[in-house]
Structure 1
Amino acid sequence: MNKQRRKLLQIGGMLGVGAVLFPYDIAARALDRAKLSKFGLQLYSVKEEMANDAAGTMRKLAQFGYKQFEGFDGGKGILWGMHPAECKSLLSDIGVEFISSHADVFKNLDAQAEQAAEVGMKYLICPYIGAQKSIDEWKNIAERFNKAGKTLQSHGLKFAYHNHDYTFKMLDGQLPQDILMENTDPELVDFELDMYWSHVAGYDPLEYIAKFPGRFKLCHVKDAEPEGGNAHDRGVLLGTGEIPYADIIRKSKKYGMEYFVVEQERFVGTTPLKAAEENAVYLSKLKV
């Protein structure tokens, strides 16, 4: 046997072994995937508990494994009546980062931004704007977002918008969410994709994130049961619905997603605190 033929046989043998081992290599890489190190909770998920005892509720949530909080204005301001120094001390004590808050971004924005900056928030988020009647109205909303973003930029914060399903419903042949994406300044405006709302509206969350890389830095993680008439009534605990979060979370990171925030608004056979605990358990075991 000449040297050239012997060499070819050796190469072929190695390729054969590689072909056999390749599936096991894939499996090994899957096993090596890291768990999600940090995830947050939108505190609206436990709004009644927050109203009764904000500090005590936040301590309980930290014990569940949440390392990040996203707030909301529950009628006492974005810090629920706490002074920024008091809130910051609490967060330091329980080891949680306050990343953002939903807020009325069109009212007293400078004052809210000062509070948010003092406790280390990165975002103030418009949680709801309502469906508009025309494309021009959506463009006007985009300009209002830019203006709010400019104000927040002066405080070292950034503006973001949280969608519902209405921005994923066609209007005059265009998608309102696209209008917002295309008419806002990326230097001033980010977006928080509520994956549940895009999903029940018929849009794949991951595909939409990939369509606008770098624009979605935060997301709401909540699951949807496979069947349901009203889009508002399909929310279920994470891991019990049809949204493939392990795949979405892993792949969305390469498009710029940084913050994964649990939100639970529907409670069947459970309580808000118990749901928060069970959702934390799910995410803490998720390999991405």
Structure 2
Amino acid sequence: MIRALDRRAAIALLGAGSLGACVSASAAPRRRPLGVLEMTVTKALQEDYAGTLRKLAGMGYTHLGMSLAGNRPGEVFALGPKERAALVREAGMQVGVARYGFAGGFREQAEQAVEIGASILAYTAAPVFFRGAKFGQTTRAAFDKWLPELGKMAETARELGLTLVYHNHWWDFKPLDGETPLEIIARTYPPSLVGFEIDLAWAWLGGADPFTVVSTYGPRVRSLHLKDVDPSRGKDMIKQLVEPGAGRLDYATLLPKLDKITDAIGYVEVDQPDDGMAAAASAARFLLAVRAGEA
């Protein structure tokens, strides 16, 4: 599509977001971005970061969701975020959502996110859900006490030109004295300050309908996590998580509906895959086929 235009003109139009208006109606539709998280393919990235990125790009992935926290002994990757981001671009992909790591300071990591070219910084979970008597449970008082911390982090992110998004788990759909954690956050902070990264599988495991969740929060939803649930893998929720198309969520129906209501980029995430690259390849084939109307 772009080859038919002068290169400089195409770049200018892309920057203005107006390319679609200048292409004939008979042209092929713009391909939706598709992301994948480092977590899904950690082992392969550890063995050959640059080579794995080229393989992911060949599968059809356009964005990589990256973890932060610098380059300290004991971290997952030998390369720091800046070095990894350079390799992402060399592979023809883009740096996607950056993920805050609880091992480091928030401002430090927010500055790292800016340095690698990210525009969205994801906060994985409210720590109060890990501190209670039972994992995934807390009290309304504890959540309310933590909530101002989220606001302070969001203000820091905005100061640096980032959007902070809160990532949901199953517990974020369980009421705390009548309101769910997501409802409390949405009521407390405007979408311009705190966005959401909706994990569709965790929403489903929390008893919520993924499409309804995304519809409800609308423009606040800035990112999606695409994974599936296979209850036959045992009672452990983490072990039930599989790639899209391999579980109970009807992505063949769900994804086209989501594409109509949100521009948020979806990132394939499988928390503990048996074979991360196989899961990434399977997910890409399935999701691209769904979007092409072939699934």
Indicate the RMSD between aligned Cα atoms, in angstroms: 2.9
- Please say if 1:114 is aligned against 2:111: yes
1:186 aligns with 2:215: no
Q: Which shifted more, 71-80 or 121-130?
A: 71-80
Partner in structure 2 of residue 247 of structure 1: 253
DSSP 3-state at the match of 1:261: strand
> What is the aligned length?
255
Partners of 2:67 and 2:81 within 8 A in 1: no
**Which residue number corresponds to residue 168 of structure 1?**
173
Residue of 94, 97, 120 corresponding to 1:97: 94
Are residues 84 and 126 of structure 1, via their aligned partners in 2, closer, same or farther at CA, if it must alter by over 3 Å?
closer
Q: Separation in 2 of the partners of 1:74 and 1:83?
A: 8
Question: What's 2:219 paired with?
Answer: 214
- What's 2:290 paired with? 286
Quote how far apart the aligned CAs of 1:39 are.
0.5
Pick 1 or 2: higher relative contact order, CA cutoff 8 A, min separation 6: 1
Deviations 1:146-165 (A, max 9, x none): 21111111211111111111
Q: Return the offset for 1:212.
A: 1.8
Map Cα deviations across residues 168-217 of structure 1 (whole Å, 9 max, x no partner): 12332332221122212311111101110110121101111112221111
Bigger drift between 98-107 and 274-283 goes to 98-107
Residue 122 of structure 2: aligned partner: 125
Give secondary structure in 1 for the equivalent of 2:219.
Answer: coil
The TM-score normalised by the length of structure 2 is: 0.75
Superposed, 1:32-111 pairs within 5 Å as 37-73=32-68, 76=71, 80=77, 82=79, 86-104=83-101, 107-111=104-108
Q: CA deviation at 1:167?
A: 1.1
What residue number does 2:278 align with? 274
Task: For residues 38-68 of structure 1, give each alpha carbon's deviation from its aligned partner in whole angstroms, at most 9, with x where no partner exists.
Answer: 1000111122333343333323222222100
SS of the equivalent of 2:223 reads strand
Q: After alignment, is 98-107 or 173-182 more displaced?
A: 98-107
8 Å CA contact retained: 2:157, 2:163? yes
Please give the alpha-carbon distance, in whole angstroms, between the structure 2 residues aligned to 1:164 and 1:205: 12
Q: Secondary structure at the match of 2:192?
A: coil
State the Cα deviation string for residues 226-285 of structure 1 (Å, max 9, x = none). 655443332233212221224333333454341101001243xx5111111111111121
Q: Residues 223, 138 of structure 1: CA spacing in aligned structure 2 closer, same or farther, 3 A cutoff? A: same
C-alpha change, 1:155 and 1:105, in structure 2 (3 Å) is farther
Question: Is the radius of gyration larger for structure 1 or structure 2?
Answer: 1
Query: 1:146·1:185 contact (CA, 8 Å) conserved in 2?
Result: no
Preserved CA contact (<8 Å) 1:159 1:190: yes
Question: How do residues 254-273 of structure 1 correspond to structure 2 at under 5 angstroms?
Answer: 254-267=260-273, 271-273=275-277
Query: Is the counterpart of residue 139 in structure 1 residue 136 in structure 2?
Result: no
SS of equivalent to 1:286 = helix
Q: Is the 8 A contact 1:224 1:243 kept in 2?
A: yes
Tell me the secondary structure at the aligned position of residue 64 of structure 2.
strand
Q: Secondary structure at the match of 1:142?
A: helix
Instruction: Give the Å deviation of 1:70.
Output: 0.5
Contact kept? 1:36, 1:286, Cα under 8 Å:
no
Q: Structure 1: state its 5+ residue gaps.
A: 1-32
Structure 1 CA distance, aligned partners of 2:83 and 2:287?
A: 29
Question: Aligned partners of 2:102, 2:123: CA distance in 1, in Å?
Answer: 6
Greater CA drift, 206-215 or 235-244: 235-244
- SS of alignment partner, residue 212 of structure 1: helix
